[in-house]
Amino acid sequence: MNIDGSEPKQLTTDNSRAPVFSPDGRDVIYVSLAENRRSTWKVSIDGGAPVRLTTELCSFLRYSHDGKQFLCSFQKDGKSVIGFFGSEAGPPVNTVPEPGGLENMRWMTDGRSIIYTVTDNAVTNFWIQPINGGPAKRLTDFTSDHIDSFNLSPDGKQVAFSRGTATNDVVLITGFKK
């Protein structure tokens, strides 16, 4: 739709989730949960027939900065992996094991690695993973708090993030009159 909300255009007709725009804003990749279409798809913002990109049912979809690749998390042989795909249909170019506690991930601006957060015992830290499958490297050594969200600066040299703790209380209210 236009920025003022006029001229909305329906792009999908199935049970679509997790839409992500391509960097040039011309395409949207998304996950279809429709019974016979459970996988990752791409559709033009001009409409038209969606194209199946993967046979995998992905989560954490993210385009690379140049739009030539995307990544996602999916199940392979009963294990969670991070897959790196070309922007056109086909199998992953590479996969790496998904770390336990993965919460969010982004492409680094160099296109050769990703940054992600892992939470272990309620403490979140940043990690970098090369897409070629080399070992992941821990970037931070926080000993408390949870990282809720983050993003990289355009040059990839800084990261902004929100970090803190969640407090939950349980309250028992009695004495209601029936």
Residues 17 and 81 occupy one common structural domain:
yes
Q: Which domain holds residue 74?
A: 1-98
Residues 150, 84 share a domain: no
pTM of the model: 0.80
Handedness of CA 76, 78, 81, 87 (dihedral sign): positive
Q: What is the pLDDT of residue 48?
A: 85
pLDDT digits (tens, 9 = 90+) for 103-124: 889 999 988 999 999 999 989 9
Q: Which residues of the chain have pLDDT under 50?
A: none
